[in-house]
Amino acid sequence: MTLHNLDGVVERLVPPMLHMPLGGGDWQASAFHDGDPVVEIIGGRATGKSALLKVLRTGYRTLVPTAFVELAGSPYSADSPEDRERLDAVNASPVTNILFTLSHELANIPAKYKPRLRFSRLSPALMVIAAWRPDGQGGPQGQGQGQGPGRGPVVPPAELVEAENELRELLDQHPAPAAARDAAIHRWGKAVNGVVGGLLPQVPGLAGVLDAALETLLGRRGSTPLDWWRDRLGRDDPVKGLFGLVRQFRRRGAGRTEVESHLIGALLADIDDAYGTWARQTTHPPLILLDDVDDDLGKRFLTPFVEQYAQLKQRRRWAGRPLRPVVIATSRGRGTDAGHGSELMPATRTEPWTKPELRPPAAWLLRLRIPSLTSDEIRPMLDGHDYPAALPEIIARLSGGRTGNALLLAEASRQRLRTHGPFDCLDLLDLPLAAPDGRPGEAEEAGHERPVAELLLEQLLPDATVRNQLLDLAPALDEDAAASLAHRLPSRPDGWSAALHVRHLVDNALSRKLWNHHPWPTSDGATPLITDRGMRAVLLHVLREDGDGQRWSLGHRRLANHYNGRDLPADSVGHSPHHLHHALALGQLDSLVVRALHHHYLEAEPRAWLRTVNFLAAAPRPRGGFPPYQPHRAHTAAPGEPPPCPGCTDGDPRGVHSAIRQVLGVTWRLSDPSAERPSGYRDPALRRLETGLMTLNSDYEERSRRDARRSDVHNAYVDALATGGWIDALLAGTQAPELPVT
């Protein structure tokens, strides 16, 4: 499987940490001589994070103990705060659920691997937290033994109640008879065994944890696991200390956090203790793969895990340094934000681990962000096909540099090139493609082809409800406009105000932490709605092609009205640029937008006018496509034709109106996300743009000579025509609204 810009992790970063290449091979020395770090790979959705972990799991699980935990859902995380709170039950938390799963998976040792991991420190603590009722009232969930999500209270069996009461009395004695206490622990464990499957239904391996727990609890003082807990808790009686953890865990807050930190330390100590002096130097360590560590789990699990990982100490000088598991975690974040980690590099960095005793624990977390794919990295995806020269650049633009998106677009392109030959890149998002890996989309049969834009959108926004809500709001430029639109949309949740609905989407589905932050132009001071250009382009395309076009036209008309605060007539040339943006998306180029631009041209200074054109040229393509280029016919008044342009008072002898249409029309076409960049200075589109700008430049110079008030105003049309202006910018691949205006 090709991972593109993640190959370096598989080929150069992880093999030295595990001392062998993917699939096995000769021993490799780690590049981190003072201990391997915990590695966190950061990237947005569809950037290949999960694919990376699955490749590592497939390549190593038959060679070393491997745990692979997908953390995106229950019992580890949840989307809403309310659902997340439910995961923090009386007898369980997201952290304990993770530790249960890790110990269960790491206990499945490959056939030829030694030693076997027993988790004799972790197991008793996990089991007493999950099963012990310190006050003898209610089940582990506070209402009944074995209650789980959606289940009612279950009365504890009489034998379990009796065993708990007996053990509770013995734990309260100072000192308790050892034989009697061991017998009571044994009876309690036997009683728990009958209900263990109902304690945490979603968590695997509880029976194995119970066996290991009883083995430790029934061990004599002086055994390594009990000594570890005695030192950790500062208690003379480690068994009583373990049962005492339950009350601290149930107090939640700081008490629960401290217990969870102890549990993580126990997991790492169990792994380290399993290896003798020789094995530490010759055995490949276990591998832990954690997929989709969200913000809450990052604070709740990963941060204390790294702290305990850093503080793991050698027990004896001659035993060598601690044996730590190799840990690779992934988390969602913007691949283009340098604040989220170091650039993913082919070589590893060792500086932070020199003299690790002098480094803070956080230094042991190596955060690597996934860079966006470039057109150079996309070209190999198209090898063997005679593709348009601009295709890799357009795929990079539409995919937002996300590997998963780029692969879909490349596959759709390859299929089209194989079957029908070359195609217009403006049609790229319409190319048909079957659901990837044979997985049908919603209500689709396997093998049924759909436009690649729909598959891209499902990849970016898997939740169908959220996807539908964002399709309705996609034309909006900012939050206020989106709220104005949402007032009249059926997709708004019942009982929610429009503003709350929009803010919820912005904070969650559109969180800037999760997407490339490249804001769409908005009115001054407004908060952009969708900051990821690639996702916005796909949303708008799917909306434009939806059904009979009612959602598209209705949305843009309502948004245009949102910016018509002065209640101007529909064909008024006094409308604001934001109103004209939506009018252009409705195809009103000649009937309104060019006329309004001519009016603004006569009133505004050149820089302000060019900024307006820059903004308008970023408007989405109309449903019927771009209107054809044709010279403007001034002063038409035939039925169905636009009203006369008030700017053409003299009949437009210098062709200013036509020039304005040329400048806007060419810039608008070349700024479509699927548009190819011009082929060169002789490109016909650039020749039309140059002609239009020269006409405006000459006309402005002529008017300035006649009007003394304009004599000190800088002629920005010269800048747009000069070297480094709009012609050069478009040739370099720059699009509106980012064309240079000095």
Flag whether 531 is in a domain: no
* One domain for residues 659 and 721: yes
Q: What is the tens place of the pLDDT at every residue in 24-55?
A: 999 999 888 778 899 999 988 888 999 999 99
Assess whether pLDDT exceeds 80 at residue 546: yes
Last residue of a domain, one of 369, 402, 418: 369
Ramachandran region, residue 667 (left: φ > 0; alpha: ψ -120 to 50; beta: rest): alpha
Assess whether pLDDT exceeds 70 at residue 611: yes
pLDDT of 314: 56
- Helix and strand element counts for the chain (H, E): 32, 8
* One domain for residues 274 and 404: no
* One domain for residues 630 and 706: yes
Pick the closest to residue 62 from 284, 322, 212 (CA basis). Answer: 284
Assess whether pLDDT exceeds 60 at residue 363: yes
pLDDT averaged over the chain?
Answer: 87
Flag whether 176 is in a domain: no
pLDDT of 682: 95
100 vs 551: CA distance, rounded Å: 48
pLDDT of 710: 66
More confident residue, 175 or 318: 175
Assess whether pLDDT exceeds 70 at residue 431: yes
* One domain for residues 72 and 49: yes
Helix axes 253-273, 94-106, angle to 10 degrees: 10
Pick the closest to residue 120 from 259, 269, 249 (CA basis). Answer: 269
* One domain for residues 597 and 742: yes
What token pair was written down for 98?
A: 């993770």
Last residue of a domain, one of 422, 440, 459: 459
What are φ and ψ of residue 20, in 5° steps? -165, 155
Residue span of the structural domain in which 445 resides: 375-459
Flag whether 408 is in a domain: yes
More confident residue, 343 or 361: 361
pLDDT of 536: 96
pLDDT of 205: 86
308 vs 171: CA distance, rounded Å: 30
* One domain for residues 104 and 231: yes
Query: What percentage of the chain exceeds 90 in pLDDT?
Result: 63
* One domain for residues 124 and 240: yes
Flag whether 538 is in a domain: no
Could you count the other beta carbons within 10 Å of the beta carbon of residue 623? 17
Contact 335, 284 (CB under 8 A): no
The separation between CA 545 and the C-alpha centre of its own chain, rounded to angstroms, equals: 26
712 vs 661: CA distance, rounded Å: 27
DSSP letter (8 states) at residue 302: I
Q: Provide the β-strand partners of residue 367.
A: 40
What string of H, E and C letters represents the secondary structure of 529-587?
CCCCHHHHHHHHHHHHCCCCCHHHHHHHHHHHHHCCCCCCCCCCCCCCHHHHHHHHHCC
pLDDT of 440: 40
Contact 226, 123 (CB under 8 A): no
Q: What is the tens place of the pLDDT at every residue in 229-242?
A: 999 999 888 999 99
What token pair was written down for 472?
A: 């309705």
* One domain for residues 312 and 444: no
Assess whether pLDDT exceeds 90 at residue 437: no
pLDDT of 447: 59
Contact 431, 412 (CB under 8 A): yes
pLDDT of 512: 84
- For every residue of 190-238, DSSP letters joined together read HHHHTTHHHHSTTSS-HHHHHHHHHHHHTSPTT-HHHHHHHHHHT-S-H
* One domain for residues 137 and 209: yes
Q: 323 vs 104, 315, 418, 484, 544, CA distance in Å?
A: 19, 11, 53, 59, 57
Q: What is the tens place of the pLDDT at every residue in 688-736?
A: 999 999 999 999 998 888 876 666 788 999 999 999 999 999 999 999 9
* One domain for residues 327 and 452: no
Assess whether pLDDT exceeds 90 at residue 513: no
What token pair was written down for 3?
A: 């991972």
DSSP letter (8 states) at residue 666: H
Sign of CA dihedral 316, 319, 320, 321: negative
Q: Number of structural domains, the chain? A: 3
Assess whether pLDDT exceeds 80 at residue 531: yes
Q: Determine the 3-state secondary structure of 43 from DSSP.
A: strand
* One domain for residues 111 and 222: yes
Flag whether 352 is in a domain: yes
Sign of CA dihedral 11, 16, 17, 19: positive
Assess whether pLDDT exceeds 50 at residue 337: no
742 vs 429: CA distance, rounded Å: 34
Q: What is the tens place of the pLDDT at every residue in 81-138?
A: 889 999 999 999 999 999 999 999 999 999 899 999 999 999 999 999 999 987 765 5
Last residue of a domain, one of 459, 482, 507: 459
724-728 contacts at long range (C-beta below 8 A, 24 or more positions apart): 726/667, 726/689, 726/693, 727/681, 727/686, 727/689, 727/690
Flag whether 346 is in a domain: yes
Flag whether 177 is in a domain: no
pLDDT of 639: 58
Flag whether 158 is in a domain: no
Could you count the other beta carbons within 10 Å of the beta carbon of residue 422? 12
Average pLDDT over residues 2-10: 79
Assess whether pLDDT exceeds 60 at residue 469: yes
pLDDT of 152: 37
Q: 705 vs 139, 485, 714, CA distance in Å?
A: 90, 46, 13
Assess whether pLDDT exceeds 70 at residue 585: yes
Pick the closest to residue 423 from 447, 390, 387 (CA basis). Answer: 387
- pLDDT tier at 80, thresholds 50, 70, 90: confident
Assess whether pLDDT exceeds 60 at residue 613: yes
Assess whether pLDDT exceeds 90 at residue 222: no
* One domain for residues 122 and 61: yes
